[in-house]
């Protein structure tokens, strides 16, 4: 099982990956939205902001998200690490229910460019 630190490191790596994108993908990564990522097996939520092509984690909270972020993710720590490392494909994980993504319809259309 992935640790909280491994999950934080994976989110930092995801942020780095987003900063190196170009074109339509860069535009999608440049959304300015609140973000939460609930790591279900650790019962920890990372909350922050996606802006300027990166994700900034502002806090780590015990339990599920307390407030409704504009972009909400939920998954296990192992799945987060596997997604960021490229060992798990997002569409397959989302389709099977391993990863949950909730956002407004316009945001979903933009985010699909990142996937």
What are the domain boundaries of the chain?
A: 4-111
For residues 100 and 73, is the Cβ–Cβ distance under 8 A?
Answer: yes
CA 90 to chain centre: 11
Pure H helices in 31-76 = none
pLDDT one-digit tens code per residue, 50-80: 988 888 999 999 999 999 999 999 999 999 9
- Rg from Cα positions in the chain: 13
pLDDT one-digit tens code per residue, 8-63: 999 999 888 877 766 666 666 678 999 999 999 999 999 999 988 888 999 999 99
CATH assignment of 4-111, among 3.20.20.70, 3.40.50.2300, 3.40.50.720, 3.30.1050.10: 3.30.1050.10
pTM for the predicted model, two decimal places = 0.89
């Amino acid at each position: 099982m992935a640790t909280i630190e491994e999950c934080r490191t994976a989110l930092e790596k995801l942020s780095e990956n987003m900063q190196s994108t170009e074109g339509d993908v860069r535009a999608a990564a440049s959304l300015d939205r609140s973000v939460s990522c609930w790591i279900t097996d650790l019962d920890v939520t990372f909350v922050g902001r996606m802006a300027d092509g990166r994700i900034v984690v502002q806090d780590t909270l015990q339990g599920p998200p307390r407030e409704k972020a504009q972009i909400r993710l939920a998954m296990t720590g192992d799945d987060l690490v596997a997604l960021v490392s490229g060992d798990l494909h997002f569409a397959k994980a989302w389709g099977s229910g391993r990863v949950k993504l909730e956002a407004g319809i316009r945001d979903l259309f933009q985010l699909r460019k990142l996937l």
